[in-house]
């Protein structure tokens, strides 16, 4: 469960003002809020966001549970998203996915014990031309190999900018 600090709640309110002035930016605003809330809109967080944005909690819940980029359950600091669709598989995505899971010692859907990474498989993420690709939060890494992705994950673990 999130225990949001006063500073985080203030940041959520500032982001809510962006939405109030431009409703079409709802997705962008919620993604930024999610970064502030341990990548999770739990019950408490939903209530705070609902109040700040002026959106009924039930409507917000429907929106968040519709899109795979949002979660109502605790996840890691970094969300690794990898396409599991056939076009990517034939380009080597399966080997890259296996490399990620082996390196982090997790199964798809799991979060590492240190809370740093959650590995998620999803449908097409629009990066077919440069497959195998993954998204780590909002960053895109393309033309991956099993070794290349291990190097990238190592940098994240060390806090080094890739
Ligand atoms: S089919 Fe995999 S990114 Fe599009």
Between CA 118 and CA 2, with CA 110 as vertex, the angle to 5 degrees is 60
- Strands laid side by side in the 139-141 sheet: 117-122, 78-83, 134-136, 139-141
pLDDT value for 1: 59
pLDDT value for 162: 79
Its pTM stands at 0.78
Task: Give the Å distance between the CA of 127 and the centre of ligand 1.
Answer: 5
Query: 1-54, pLDDT tens digit by residue?
Result: 568 899 999 999 999 999 999 999 999 999 999 989 888 899 999 999 999 999
What are the chain's domains? 6-66 (no CATH), 78-158 (3.40.30.10)
Query: 142-161, pLDDT tens digit by residue?
Result: 999 999 999 999 999 999 87
Computed over every residue of the chain, the mean pLDDT equals 92
- Cα dist. 106→51, 94, 137 in Å? 36, 15, 18
Torsions phi, psi for 41 (to 5 deg): -100, 80
Q: What integer is the mean pLDDT of 69-73?
A: 89
Cα(2)–Cα(94) distance, rounded to whole angstroms? 34
**Residues 80/134, Cβ–Cβ less than 8 Å:** yes
Identify the residues whose C-beta falls under 6 Å from ligand 1: 83, 85, 87-88, 124-125, 127-128, 131
Residue 88 pLDDT > 80 = yes
Ligand 1 pocket check: which of 80, 84, 92, 127 to mutate, most ligand atoms within 8 Å of Cβ? Answer: 127
Band of the pLDDT at 73, cuts 50, 70, 90? confident
């Amino acid at each position: 469960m999130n225990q949001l600090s006063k500073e985080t709640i203030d940041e959520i309110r500032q982001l809510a003002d962006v939405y109030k002035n431009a409703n079409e930016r709802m997705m962008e605003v919620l993604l930024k809020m999610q970064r502030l809330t341990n990548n999770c809109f739990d019950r408490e967080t939903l209530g705070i966001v609902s109040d700040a944005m002026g959106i009924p909690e039930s409507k917000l819940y429907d929106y968040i549970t519709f899109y795979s980029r949002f979660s109502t359950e605790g996840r890691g600091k970094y969300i690794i998203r990898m396409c599991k669709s056939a076009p990517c598989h034939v380009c080597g995505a399966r080997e890259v996915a296996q490399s990620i899971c082996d390196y982090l010692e997790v199964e798809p859907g799991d979060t590492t014990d240190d809370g740093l990474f959650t590995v998620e498989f999803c449908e097409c993420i629009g990066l077919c031309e440069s497959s195998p690709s993954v998204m780590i939060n909002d960053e895109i890494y393309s033309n991956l190999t099993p070794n290349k992705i291990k190097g990238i994950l190592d940098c994240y673990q060390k806090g080094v900018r890739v």
